[in-house]
Structure 1
């Protein structure tokens, strides 16, 4: 008796699950569990990392992320408005910036910011020293991505609202600030939250700036702990802390996307 299409799908899905289960069982049997647990989940080493890993690594990671996002979103708003400008030169400059910094690795940008600019402009120093370098280094790259997101958000605002504001006598600048941008920002909150997640991970590149011990972010702190304890358990601790930051943000993105879909 021939199987129906639904039955074939169920059978094929069951075979896939069975193959996956067999692979998991084989891998589990091949692992040397005592050695694995001692290397990756040594609780004695993990406890020795606290509370410094929180007070230094986690706090600095959050600080660097906030600095990069703040600088990036401010610059992204300017770039988005330039992309929508009626002046061709503004559009060309903004487009060139976006294409350039979306094509460059964040690590290369940080190197240019930290070592290239001081050599090009002798005596130049960033306000806040390392924190200033972090804000600019992470922010200029993030701005290139957020600018396109903001541009799409601005264009998604109904033109009728802009026309109504202009009819009431609002200037173009006031219309943009009070009517368009607030709505655009609400629209683009989910993708901007994704950008924050990317910045959290990009903050691991700050080590290239030659940070001191009290400026270590999570990844650099973990590398130092690996050398100190001669164990990879610190990587497990660092991974858990990164997930502690990114998983709630991912949940927030999904919730905001669902809410926005319902509103639409």
Structure 2
């Protein structure tokens, strides 16, 4: 589904439709996070009295997603480059990182960063939010690395050879020729990873981060009314994922390498 992309005038270019969709979706997200407590306060117990808590939990969830998502993209780029490096130890390190992270549950990784990492590295003391953000970033970074690696390998070698024949250095060739194309190729799985990250951030509740799921769990524990509480929680998640999907879809549409429309 194109969502907002399909409502703009047909005469608009792909860039114009994408830019408008991103702007409107971002504005909706900001307004929703700012004003969500108002409609929630109109609802009967147990939702109404906890409206501010749900609103703050939603803001923390989005903040956690954005921080971990951006860091995960950076980690993914470095891991992808390391996995393709000719230097064997660097390549083995990247393969080990991706193998371990993709082969273990995210819940275990969150608990490891929060509980075990300070014991292994006594000088490292992270807050519950930073611990969750670090674990989520490391997790999504491993998946991003595979998507980016596939994108890099999908760029025709002839373009690299042509760039080198024109006098570009390997670094210039990668920055100006290979990476822009590989990033566009890898964009669909990257945006899917970010949307999934919003839902995965719910695991941060196990270390005390007061995000949306934690708020819902606290309210239902205090009121013993799980049905309305978790229905409200699910609706907030649904709205957040829908808006984020619109933004990510517009970015993908704007950078569409096939120039479909």
Tell me the TM-score normalized by structure 1: 0.74
* CA displacement, residues 129-168 of structure 1 (integer Å, 9 cap, x when unaligned): 3333122111111111110000011112222322232223
State how many pairs are aligned.
Answer: 216
User: Which range is displaced more, 223-232 or 75-84?
Assistant: 223-232
2:235 to 235, 240, 244: 240
Distance 2:196 2:71 in 1: 15
Give secondary structure in 2 for the equivalent of 1:44.
Answer: coil
Structure number with bigger Rg: 1
Q: From the superposition, tell whether residues 239 and 258 of structure 1 become closer, same or farther in structure 2 (CA, over 3 Å).
A: same
Cα-Cα RMSD: 2.4
* CA displacement, residues 82-117 of structure 1 (integer Å, 9 cap, x when unaligned): 111122222222111111110110111111111111
Q: Which residue of 2 aligns with 1:52?
A: 53
**How far apart are 1:47 and its partner, in Å?**
3.0
CA contact (8 A) 1:69 1:199 kept: yes
Q: Which residue of 1 aligns with 2:73?
A: 73
CA contact (8 A) 2:160 2:178 kept: yes
Q: Which residue of 1 aligns with 2:190?
A: 192
Distance 1:99 1:122 in 2: 26
Equivalent residue runs for 1:92-111 within 5 Å: 92-111=92-111
Q: From the superposition, tell whether residues 125 and 174 of structure 1 become closer, same or farther in structure 2 (CA, over 3 Å).
A: farther
CA contact (8 A) 1:82 1:94 kept: yes
CA contact (8 A) 1:113 1:133 kept: yes
Q: From the superposition, tell whether residues 210 and 258 of structure 1 become closer, same or farther in structure 2 (CA, over 3 Å).
A: closer
* CA displacement, residues 212-263 of structure 1 (integer Å, 9 cap, x when unaligned): xxxx111001011112332121111110011112234445666747984853
